[in-house]
Amino acid sequence: MSCFLTNSSLGKKLVMSLTGCFLVLFILFHMSMNLVAIFSPEGYNAICAFLGANWYAVVASIGLAGLMIIHIIYAFWLNVQNHRARGNDRYAVTARPHGVEWSSQNMLVLGIIVMLGIGLHLFNFWAKMQLAELMHTHDLGIAGVTGPTDGAGLIAYTFSNPIFSVLYLVWLLAIWFHINHGFWSALQTIGWNNVVWMKRIRVLSTWVSSILMLGFAAVVLLYFGRAICDGNLWFY
């Protein structure tokens, strides 16, 4: 089985599909949690305190990081394999084949943008929340943020910066393209690839990616709008 998952293209695609589906489930949970910050900052902070640096949250974070690393490694692995398989044809300038999505041809570029966005997100939130708790750092030195469990305050602070707000929206757009293609492609690899179901799965993929990214974007735009109204914008 291990040889199948590492030596064959289908095996590699299966690993990417399964890890990708689990990551989408995490994104769904994360988006649902973030929406609480819109309606109840206190409720959101209660969730942050419940998760925080507790053992189950740390174990989940390690598992999530593992899935992400595996997904990234296999993505580059497949890309290199496909690159080599094309041989000299890869230097030919050709138009995009009919029926092939733009996101399908640019999954590697989109993936790199997504990874850069993850790095920014880890810097802005994980390092100041879970990592800060693990390091027993109770004062983040940020005005208006009471500590590592003040997630709502940290959201308000981060999205009071127009540069961060724009970067996050660009990141979310890249994730939309990535999931919109990747989700239906993953389900196709798993086995849902007959003619009837493929049309439905493509529609489902568009709905899932759109709902997820609109949920995240709503938080960014709302808190950025509040910062404008309150005159709390900052740039550096």
With a cut of 60, say whether residue 100 has pLDDT above it: no
With a cut of 90, say whether residue 10 has pLDDT above it: no
Angle between helices 41-51 and 151-158 (to 10 degrees): 110
The string of pLDDT tens digits covering residues 167-202 is: 999 999 999 999 998 888 888 887 777 777 788 888
The tokens for 197 are 């179901």
**Alpha helix ranges (H) inside the chain:** 2-7, 9-39, 41-51, 55-86, 102-105, 107-124, 130-134, 151-158, 162-190, 195-230
Q: What is the pTM of this model?
A: 0.87
What domains appear along the chain, each with residue ranges and CATH number? 2-230 (1.20.1300)
**Higher pLDDT pick, 171 / 89:** 171
Local confidence band at 2 (pLDDT 50, 70, 90 cut-offs): low
The string of pLDDT tens digits covering residues 113-158 is: 999 999 999 999 999 999 999 999 989 999 889 999 999 999 999 9
AA letter at 40: S
